[in-house]
Structure 1
Amino acid sequence: MRIVLLQLNIYAISLLLCSAEPEALGTITFKITDFTMLQCVNSERCTGNISVRFQTARSGMLVEQTFDLADWQSERSANFHKPWPGLVMVTLSLNSSDSELVSRESLLFPRGSFQNIKDNWTYISLYGRQSLFTMTAKVECLDYHYGQDCAQICKPETCLVESNFIKCKPGWRGANCQAPICSPNCSSSNGYCDQPGECKCKRGWTGNGCNECVPYDGCLNGGCKANAPFTCDCDPGWTGALCNIESHYCRSNNSCVNGGVCLDSHDPLEPFRCICPNNQTGSKCEL
C-alpha cells in the first residue's frame, strides 16, 4: 500500500451551515479529475468502489468516503471534527469484483507530488506502473471557526475577527471568547455568571458577591460554622441542633458555693463564672 503526503493550506472562509454537526470544525472538498488504468481501457472490467481517506498517525482518521467507481468524477465534501493538522496522508484504494484487479490493488497507491493552484485548491498527481490519478482538494473552516487548524471559535455576539486575529468583545474572555466576565465583586469560588456583569450564587451562598454562606435550614439563633454552608453554629445563650433552645447553665446547675453568685458566660469551654463574697476565692468560691 502506497501513501501520499499532502499539505493542504487552510483558508478561513466561512461556509453557510445547513445541517452540520455541532462539533464539526471544517470541510474538505476533493475531486478526482482524471483516472486511467491500463486494465480498464476499452473494457467493462473496472467496476467496484473507490475509497478515499484523509488521516494522520497522531489524529487518526479525519475524513473517509467510499463511492462507486462509475461516479469517480463527482466533487465530494465531508466535515472533519478534529483540528486540521495540515500534513495528512491521502490513501486511495479500489475494491473491485474483478479478482485480477484486486490482486493489483497496490498499483492504486502510487507515489505522487502536489502543488498549489489558484482558487485555494491543491493539485495532486498520482502515478503508478499501470495507473494515473489526478485529484484536487481544499480545506475550509466552517462558520465561526478560524486559525490554521479551524479550532478557534469566534461567534459575533462575543468576539470580533480583525486581520485574522480574534479579539474578544467587552465583557468576554477566554481563548474563544466564550467565558463572560462577572461583576467585579463576584466571588470566583462561590459565584458565576452567564452574561457579562452579573453574579449568580452557587448553592449554599448568597449576597451581592456570593460571599455570605447559607446556614442550615431552620437555624434560628446561629449561623454557619467556619463559613461552611448548611451548618448551624449557635449564638451565645443558645443550644440544640437548630439553636432553638435557650441555654442557662446557672439555672440548671448550682455550681457556686459559699454564697457565690453564678453568671452565665455563654462560653462552651467555661459556661459560667462565680462572683464570690469577701474572703472567698476559687472558680466556685470554694476556697
Structure 2
Amino acid sequence: MRRARLPPALLLALALVCLSQSAAGAGVFELQILEFSNYRLQLASGACCAGGRRPPPGAAAAACSQPCRTRFALCLKEYQSAAAPGACSFGRAASPVLGTDSFTLAEPLYTLSLPFSFRWTRSFTLILQAYDDYNYTDPEETGLIEEAWWSGIVEPGAEWHALRHAGAAAALAYRVRVTCQPNYYNTTCTTFCRPRDDKFGHYTCSAQGDKHCLPGWQGDNCEKPVCKEGCHPTHGRCDRPGDCDCRPGWRGELCSQCQPYPGCKHGYCNGSSWDCTCDTNWGGILCDQDLNYCGTHEPCQHGGTCENTAPDQYLCSCAEGFSGVDCERVDNPCAPQPCAHGACALATSPRGFTCACDAGWTGALCDQDVDDCASAPCHNGATCRDLVDAFSCDCAPGWTGPACFDDVDECAVRPEGGPEGAAGPCVNAAACNNTAGGYSCACLAGWTGRDCELNVDDCIGQCLNGATCIDLVDDFHCACAAGYVGRTCERDVDDCASRPCRNGGECVDLLDAYRCICPVGFSGTDCEDDRDHCADAPCSNGAPCYTAQSDYFCHCTPGWTGKNCTQRAPAARPAYPTRVEDCTEGGCGAGGSCVEAPGVAPRCVCRAGWTGVRCETEINECATNPCRNNGTCVDGPADFVCVCPEGWRGKTCSVRSDYERCVDRPCANGGTCVRDAGGWRCACAAGWTGAACDAAAH
C-alpha cells in the first residue's frame, strides 16, 4: 500500500505548529533601511520608473528622467542556502514610500517589524524587495527595482547587524536585529520570567531570564521567607522575612528555649517542652513543695538550729537564753549580745542590760564610732581619715609628715630612672626652684610645660602652599609640595625653565607640570612626534592628503565625499544646459525661458529681475542702496520702492517736501511754524514780523 506524500508547504506548517507547542516563545524581527542607490532611475526589467519608456540600447546612464517612489517588502522564511520560491513561513511586512531613486535615511528610521510567537530558530533567510510605487498598466510589470536576500544566524539582542547588497539595478544598505518580547529571554526567546512581588513569588529577572529572589526570600519561586538568622529550624517559623515565631512549647528570641509545664512553680525544662524538672530542695509534680524549709526561709532566730522534718515543715533548737517555735523569745537580755563593741551586764533599766563600750566607740549599744577627725588635725589641704580611736592624714602633693606640716623639696628628689646626679622633676630646664607645696622649672629655649617636657611647636603658620612642617627644637623644616621651593615653600618652580618643548612648541608653566602647544604637524608631550599622518595614504579615489595637527585632511575629488573620500556624492545637474530637454524640463527655473538657435547650444534668457546661467537667482534691486536721505528700500519683482522719512518724497526720497518744511524750524525769534493747505507759515511772537519772524515790529 503506497503512502500519500504531503506537500512541502503543509509539512513546514505542521513542523512549525509542533515547534511552537513544544517551546513557545515571543519576539520580533526588525529591519531598517539605511541607504538606497538607483541613479539610473530604472526597474529590474530595464524600464524607467513611473511608467517611463524603456531607454534604447546603449543610451546614457541618465536616460530615464522620472524619479522613482521607492517602497520595500520583506519576506522571512526558514534557512535556505540559496533563495528559493515558497511561502514566507516566518511572516512578511511592507513599508510605505521611503524615498525617491537614491536616498540616505536618518533617525528615526522606519522599521519593518515581524513579531513571532514561536521558538526563535536563530538561522533564517530574508528576502528584501524594493518596488516603484506606481500603478503600472502592463500586467507583466510589477515595478520591482531590486531584490536582495541573505541567509545566516542572528541571535536575540539589542545590537543591530548591518548588511549590504549591490545588485544589477540598485544597491542598498540595511540593518537587522531580533529582540525578545518583554519577559522572554535566552537565544530562542523561550525562557519566560516576569518580575513579581506578591503571594505567589518575590523575585526579579536577570539578563538571561533567571529568577533572582528579592532580599529575604528563597525557594524555587522565591515564595519562602528567610527567617531571622539563628531562628531554630524546627521550633521556629516565619511568615515574613526576618521574623522568628515560636511554636507551642518554645520561647526565646530564636525559639531555642523550651517552655516549662504550665503551673510549674520552682522548676524548669531541660531540652524538651512542657517539662517540669524541680530546682534543688523542691519537689512535687509542679515543684511547689519545699524540701529544705530551713535553708529557704531560715525561720530560727537568735542563733537557733533548724532541722527539716518533712516537706514544708521544720524544728528549731534554741540557744541558751532563748525559747519559742522560732526561738523568738529572749529569756536573757544579754544572750543576743546587744553591745556591738563592749561588754553587756544585766541591769534594772528598761532594756534589762547596760553596755560598757570599748575605746573609740560610744552609744547605748556601743555601735557608734568616735569621730577622731572632728578636731581637724590635718593641715595644708590634707584629707583626714577616721580610724578606731585614731586618725590618718592623706597629704596634698608637696607636703608630708603625720599632720602634713612639712614641705617636700621636689628639686632634691632624683627622678625615677634619671641619670646619676640628676635632681628634681624638671627636664630640658636650666634650673629647678622649690616653692611651698610645689616647684617651678626654668625651661631651656624651645621647651615648655610644667616640667619642660613639651617641645614648643615652631611650625604654626610657617610652611606655605600645602607643605608639610617638621618641628625641630627651637626650629622647623618645611617639606615642600611638588612644584614649590624655599625655606617656607613660597616660590613656584618654573617647569618651563629647561625649555622642554621641541620643534618650536610653546611651553605653558603649570603647577609641578607644563604643557606644550605644538605647531601644525607635531604632537606628543614635548612636541617630539613629527609623524606624517599622510604616510599611510588614507585618502582614496585620487584625493590629495594634507597633514593637520595630530590628524590629516582629505580634499575629495568631484563625485566623492567622507573623511577618506570613500563615499559617492550625489550626482549634480550640469552647470549649463546642454540639451533642449534641459530647458523644457525646467532647466531655466521660474525666471527664464530656453532659447535654441541653429548651430548654437541652448541657453536661458532671463526675465527682468532674474539672473544666473539658469535664471535661478532673483536680482536684489536694493543691493545698491538707491534710497537717499535715510529712506528704507523694499525689494520687489524687477523693481524697488523707497519708504521716505518725514520731509522727503520721490522715487529715491531725493525731493524736499515744502509741506514738511516745519521740520527744519524755519521760524526765528520764538515764532511757531504752522502747516496749512498751502504748505506752511510762521506765527510770530509779539514784537516780531516777517515771513520768517526775523524783522522787528514798529
User: Is the structural similarity TM-score above 0.5?
Assistant: no
TM-score, with length taken from structure 1: 0.41
Which fold has the larger relative contact order, with Cα–Cα distance below 8 Å and residues 6 or more apart in sequence?
A: 1
TM-score, with length taken from structure 2: 0.19
Task: Pick the structure with more strand per residue.
Answer: 1
